[in-house]
């Protein structure tokens, strides 16, 4: 149902288990620079990948309720694990567009020359029914090699994008994919694009790396167009970050990942 025009200037809410979804936020802002954005980093509860499905749903509902109280006109669940665990229930509960993530198995299968694709993701995403369904739909004619990346989200949450420890973890997790001959690697977690340059160094120029952030931004734009709720104003957009992180460096990490000074509110 088309929204009232008074809704067009309302912000878009973007949520993640932590700061990883800022990679998606950047794509959204690049595509729709006049849309006001509110980002919620649920860093106090990151990572979601080691939590039960019920715990993840509870966190998603709590964050969505917070965003809806800010009068958002749409919500992007910029987290693969949260999408897999809670997106169906969120769409049933809330009466506004809710866009989720999914590992890009389909475009990876299309991009691969040798039919072997690798997926780097959290254990929670790889165990999900949604990921199993993706493999069933798009992985039939390719070999899919998966690798759970324990500890990598935590490194990125701390802003450790170029440390020896992060490099060692990435080398460890990419090695099995390369050993199986993968020529295409899917970044199956929104945190991972922030270390994509390191991954590219490890896997070499012959391996294609696929990030789904741009596709999600386009899907959001499509949904807003369908509801006539695109912001047609040419005023500069406001981008506001909320975080419940307990780390003293959390503001610095957010600004580093966003790439510029940011308006950040810390919640208890």
Query: Which of 149, 155, 174, 189 is flagged as catalytic?
Result: 189
CA distance to 16, 57, 146, 219, per residue, from 190 (Å): 9, 18, 16, 16
Q: Cis ω on the peptide bond leading into residue 192 (within 30° of 0)?
A: no
Dist CA 85 CA 82 (whole Å): 5
Start-to-end CA span in the chain (Å): 37
Query: Which of 60, 79, 149, 155 is flagged as catalytic?
Result: 79
Is 189 labeled as catalytic in the residue annotation? yes
Q: At what angle do helices 196-203 and 164-179 cross, to 10 degrees?
A: 50
Residues ≥6 apart with Cβ < 8 Å to 60? 15, 77, 82, 85, 86, 90
Report whether 50 contacts 59 (CB < 8 A).
no
Query: Which sign, positive or negative, has the C-alpha torsion 100, 222, 261, 189?
Result: positive
Sheet holding 184-187, edge to edge: 143-148, 116-121, 184-187, 208-210
Is 79 labeled as catalytic in the residue annotation? yes
Q: How many CA atoms lie within 13 A of 28 on its CB side?
A: 34
Active site (catalytic) residues: 79, 189
């Amino acid at each position: 149902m088309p929204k009232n025009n008074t809704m067009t200037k309302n912000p878009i809410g973007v949520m993640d288990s932590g700061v990883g979804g800022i990679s998606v936020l950047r794509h959204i802002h690049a595509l729709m620079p006049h849309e006001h954005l509110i980002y919620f980093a649920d860093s106090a509860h990151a990572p979601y990948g080691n939590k039960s499905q019920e715990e993840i749903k509870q966190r998603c509902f709590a964050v969505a309720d917070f965003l809806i109280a800010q009068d958002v006109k749409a919500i992007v669940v910029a987290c693969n694990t949260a999408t897999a665990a809670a997106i169906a229930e969120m769409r049933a509960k809330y009466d506004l567009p809710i866009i989720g993530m999914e590992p890009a198995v389909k475009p990876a299968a299309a991009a691969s020359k040798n039919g072997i694709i690798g997926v780097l993701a959290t254990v929670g995403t790889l165990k999900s029914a949604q990921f199993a369904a993706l493999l069933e739909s798009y992985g039939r004619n390719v070999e899919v090699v998966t690798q759970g990346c324990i500890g990598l989200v935590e490194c990125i949450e701390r802003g450790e994008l170029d440390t020896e420890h992060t490099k060692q973890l990435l080398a460890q997790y990419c090695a099995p994919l390369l050993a199986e001959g993968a020529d295409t690697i899917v970044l199956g977690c929104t945190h991972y694009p922030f270390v994509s340059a390191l991954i590219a160094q490890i896997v070499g120029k012959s391996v294609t790396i696929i990030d789904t952030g741009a596709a999600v931004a386009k899907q959001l734009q499509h949904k807003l167009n369908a509801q006539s709720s695109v912001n047609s104003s040419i005023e500069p957009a406001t981008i506001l970050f909320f975080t419940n992180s307990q780390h003293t460096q959390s503001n610095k990490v957010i600004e580093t990942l966003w790439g510029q000074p940011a308006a950040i509110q810390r919640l208890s």
